[in-house]
Amino acid sequence: MPRQTTFAKTGELDKTWHHLDARGKVLGRIATEVATILMGKHRPEYTPHVDTGDCVIITNAEQVVLTGRKAQQKTMQRFSGYPGGQKVESYESLMERHPERVVEKAITRMLPKGRLGRQMAKKLHVYVGDQHPHQAQQPVALEIN
């Protein structure tokens, strides 16, 4: 066995694709699991400065569950950059307009902030409904209980 710790190199590891059906799943519970996979912390070759994570497809984003009164109380803030340009929107209305954005934001905000984190976020694909255009990547079903 080598004396030095192994470091993964970019493009050296094969990326598998995971497919997760978000129907009836709690938002934060799936977000932590998916973020772990995107970061690559689920495999023993994990290397902090290299993206060792896999790709994740999430379908049925509109059927994700927010527990308690979070749909009414929790808000999403954006800022346009202009004075008075702060937009505040409840999760209830955001779920109606862009359900995939709710899931995407929950997950990407758990990723590292920086160039590598943004790169990791690109491997996440969220869709409304149970169809996705990644059949060719032969995604493996991901079970989260």
Partner 1 sequence: MPRVRKGAARNKARRRILRNARGYFGTKSRHKQQAKVAILRAGNFAFRDRRNRKRDFRRLWITRITAACRMRGTRYSVFMHGLQQAGILLNRKMLSQMAIEDPASFDELVQVASEHASKAAA
Contacts for 127 with CB less than 8 Å, ≥ 6 apart: 57, 58, 59, 60, 61, 100
If the CB atoms of residues 15 and 70 are measured against partner 1, the closer one turns out to be 15
Name the residue among 105, 124, 104 with its Cα closest to residue 39: 124
Does 1 engage in binding with partner 1 (CB under 8 A)?
yes
Give the pair of three-digit tokens for residue 29.
């519970």
Is 14 a residue that touches partner 1 (CB under 8 A)? Answer: no
By CB under 8 A, is residue 130 in contact with partner 1? Answer: no
Give yes or no for residue 32 binding partner 1 (CB under 8 A): no
Binding marks (x or -) toward partner 1, 34..53, rule CB under 8 A? -------xxxxxxxx-----
145 contacts partner 1 (rule: CB under 8 A): no
The verdict on 2 binding partner 1 (CB under 8 A) reads yes
| Shortest Cβ 25–partner 1 spacing (Å) | 19
Strand ranges inside 6-74, DSSP E: 17-21, 55-59
Closest CA to 25 of 138, 137, 126: 126
Give contact residues for partner 1 (rule: CB under 8 A).
1-2, 5-6, 41-48
